[in-house]
Amino acid sequence: MNESSLPRPNNLDAFWMPFSDNRYFKANPRMIGRAEGMSYYTPEGREILDGTAGLWCCNAGHGRREIKEAIQKQAAILDYAPTFQLGHPIAFEAAARIAEMTPEGMDKVFFTNSGSESADTALKIALAYHKARGESSRVRLIGRERGYHGVGFGGMSVGGIGGNRKQFGALLPYVDHLPHTHGLKENLFAKGQPEQGAHLADALENLVALHGAETIAAVMVEPVAGSTGVLVPPKGYLQRLREICDKYGILLIFDEVITGFGRLGTNFGAERLGVVPDIMTMAKGLTNAAVPMGAVAVKNGVFDAIVNGAPAGIELFHGYTYSGHPLAAAAAIATLELHRAEDLPGRARALEPYWQEAAHSLRAAPHVVDIRDCGLIAGIELVSRPGAAGARAMEVFRRCFDDGVLIRVTGDIIALSPPLICEKPHVDRIMGTIDKAIRAAA
């Protein structure tokens, strides 16, 4: 494509950008014009290697022809039809494709439009499940410190990132949090799942003792926490959470918005980490981010309790105008077909050892205090500048962008998650550019 044909805005004022330093950006805009394969291109035509799959979502790489054509074809057949008391074939097909990939016995899929909506939907399903079974006292939702479950009131309340909560008042009642799993000295620079820390899951026993099991509906965690800076679960931790949930009749929800669709070398984190939850949220990689779509998969027993246990009529008073939108469904089917045909989870698995070694080679750079990885994710933690938390990593981000590599930073942690089509020379370039930027920013 001719770069000069790309649209150029002449007014940056109206768009209130999400999770952004609007004033800085508008004084120093960094624009993306187009994308292809592993790379973005600025409107001027400068290539930026994508070290983050957009926002953890373009797992199959950018500009995939198969996905684009599926969307175009569907737009010409059916632009939109509701899925309230009405159906269109492609939404059912997309749900069936997802159900083929989820763990056994988890065959029911509810569609949303984002990870945030998936998180809130999962929490509502958990509450409805207990109510349907006559346990209306189970209204308490448990999250984890440093968890991220999007920005709806449910996900934000159960989430554990102080900065995301502090502007918004009292949030949901009846919420509590497990401790995070970050920062154990013994785990610093661990490769893959760290050895220490399974005991941190026992904090759920304390919350049961405090509140009473009969008040607790669900526990929601990310299998690998991404947005808060790549926290990999200690070996045995998720297994322990599963055991305690089973012991007390508490539903376990995995937020797989990042870990789904090949990121950890398997379809879902549940498979890689060996623990099957009762409910799983997903979004992002589901459509390769080409059209917004999220989904919630539930175990058949959860569905049966709510749907088959209800009197005739609407069984769950929940849904979105765009649940199962035809263009999103078409994008999902094409994406999942690419996953299968190109074995994207297998590609991630094959690259993982190289990725891991390359990420850990940054240990030699100044100010690096920890490195973590799992699948094609890596977190590189830098020591903060005194009185200026986040400033060092933000400088590294800007230097990398100017040097042609997109990374993501949260506080002083660099979080990496390249498209799963990534190859060794891409890995070398990502890590080499970061190394140089860290040294320059020191």
Ligand X SMILES: Cc1ncc(COP(=O)(O)O)c(C=O)c1O
Q: Which CB sits closer to ligand X, 112 or 356? A: 112
Question: Which of 283, 290, 328, 430 touches ligand X (CB under 6 A)?
Answer: 283
State which of residues 97, 146, 149, 240 lies at the interface with ligand X (CB under 6 A): 149
How many Å apart are CA 237 and CA 239, to the nearest integer? 5
Establish if 111 lies at the interface with ligand X (CB under 6 A): no
Q: Which stretch binds ligand X (CB under 6 A): 72-80, 130-138, 145-153, 358-366?
A: 145-153
The angle, 0 to 180 degrees and rounded to 10, between the axes of the packed helices 65-77 and 326-341 is 150
Residue 74 or 112 having the CB closest to ligand X: 112
DSSP assignment string, 244-288: HHHHHT-EEEEE-TTTTTTTTSSSSHHHHHT---SEEEE-GGGGT
Closest distance to ligand X from the beta carbon of 228 (Å): 9
Nearest distance, CB of residue 89 and ligand X, angstroms: 26
CB contact set of 254 (below 8 Å; sequence gap of 6+): 220, 221, 222, 223, 268, 269, 270, 275, 277, 279, 280, 281
Beta bridge partners of 413: 381, 410
Strand partners, 216: 140
Of 74, 102, 114, 121, the one binding ligand X (CB under 6 A) is 114
| Contact with ligand X (CB under 6 A) among 59, 83, 227, 266 | 227
Q: Of the ranges 67-75, 253-261, 347-355, 372-380, which one interacts with ligand X (CB under 6 A)?
A: 253-261
Q: Does 226 help bind ligand X (rule: CB under 6 A)? A: yes
Regarding 434 and contact with ligand X (CB under 6 A), the answer is no
Closest contact distance (angstroms) between CB of 160 and ligand X is 12
In the set 150, 234, 236, 419, which binds ligand X (CB under 6 A)? Answer: 150
Q: Is 297 in the site for ligand X (CB under 6 A)?
A: no
Residues 6+ apart with CB under 8 A from 336: 94, 97, 98, 101, 286
From 5-13, 219-227, 262-270, 340-348, span contacting ligand X (CB under 6 A): 219-227
Distance CA 129, CA 112 (A): 19
- Contacts of ligand X in 57-86 (CB under 6 A): none
Within 8 A by CB and 6+ apart from 301, the residues are 105
Nearer to ligand X, 250 or 258 (CB): 258
In angstroms, rounded to a whole number, what is the distance separating the alpha carbons of residues 328 and 318? 19
Is residue 217 near ligand X by the rule CB under 6 A? no
Q: Does 181 bind ligand X (CB under 6 A)?
A: no
121 binds ligand X per the rule CB under 6 A: no
User: Nearer to ligand X by C-beta: 148 or 401?
Assistant: 148
Binding of ligand X at residue 222 (CB under 6 A)?
A: yes
Pair type for strands 294-298 and 368-374? unpaired
Dist. CA 432–CA 440, nearest whole Å: 12
Q: Which residue is nearest to ligand X (CB)?
A: 115
Reduced to 3 states (helix: H, G, I; strand: E, B; else coil), residue 329 is: helix
> Would you say 21 and 377 are in contact if contact means Cβ atoms under 8 Å apart?
no
Could you give the 3-state DSSP secondary structure of residue 374? strand
Please select the residue that binds ligand X; options are 50, 120, 176, 255, rule is CB under 6 A.
255
Rounded to an integer, what distance in angstroms lies between the CA atom of residue 416 and that of residue 212? 39
| Part of the chain binding ligand X (CB under 6 A), chosen from 108-116, 272-280, 314-322, 430-438 | 108-116
Give the nearer residue to ligand X in terms of CB position, either 74 or 281: 281
Residue 123 and residue 171: Cα distance in Å, rounded? Answer: 14
If binding means CB under 6 A, how many residues of this protein chain bind ligand X? 14
| 237 token code pair | 């931790």
Question: Is 138 among the residues that bind ligand X (CB under 6 A)?
Answer: no
| Residue 258 found at the interface with ligand X (CB under 6 A) | yes
Residues of this chain that interact with ligand X (CB under 6 A) are 114-116, 119, 148-150, 222, 226-227, 255, 257-258, 283
